[in-house]
Amino acid sequence: MSKTPVPNARDRVRSFVPKLIDLTEKVVYGDVWERPGLSKRDRSLITVAALVAMNRSEQLRGHVTRAIDNGVTKDEIVEIITHMAFYSGWPTAMTAAGVAKEVLEEGEKK
């Protein structure tokens, strides 16, 4: 998967909610994701699992890409989704599987 910048959810709403995007970039990614207590790989595992559980498909899309960039494998993403089916429900896992499949296939084309 490429680390080439692509338009993302933040870019689509940046002009509409500039302060929210500023906080996202400075606090979430500039501070929280940079804390030394967990690796970025571990943060990605946790975040993907949480987004699957909460059925947050739009955000899952970007975080699957980030997880791959942070060293999480396709097989691990599949296992997260399968594991979460028993904790967050079958529908959330099935939705996540469709999103992850699309993201991973798009990444293979690059």
Q: Could you report the per-residue pLDDT of 68-86, keeping only the tens digit for each?
A: 999 999 999 999 999 999 9
- 91 has a pLDDT exceeding 70: yes
- Per-residue model confidence (pLDDT) at position 108: 86
Q: Can you give the CATH number for the domain in which 55 is found?
A: 1.20.1290.10
Task: Please check whether residues 108 and 79 belong to one and the same domain.
Answer: yes
Counting the structural domains of the chain, the total is 2
Specify whether 28 is located in the same domain as 78.
Answer: no
The DSSP secondary-structure symbol of 33 reads G
17 and 56 inside one domain: no
* pLDDT tens string 11-33: 999 999 999 999 999 999 999 99
Q: Is 99 exposed, middle or buried (0-12, 13-18, 19+ CB in 10 A)?
A: buried
Tell me: do 31 and 13 sit in the same domain: yes
Residues 102, 66, 58, 77, CA torsion sign: positive
CB 29 within 8 A of CB 40: no
Q: Note the pTM of the prediction, 2 decimals.
A: 0.88
Does 43 lie in the same domain as 16?
no
Strands (E), the chain: none
- Gap between the terminal Cα atoms of the chain: 7
Shared domain check, 50 and 30: no
- For residue 9, pLDDT over 90 is answered with no
Tally Cβ neighbours within 10 Å of residue 25: 12
What pLDDT does residue 107 have? 85
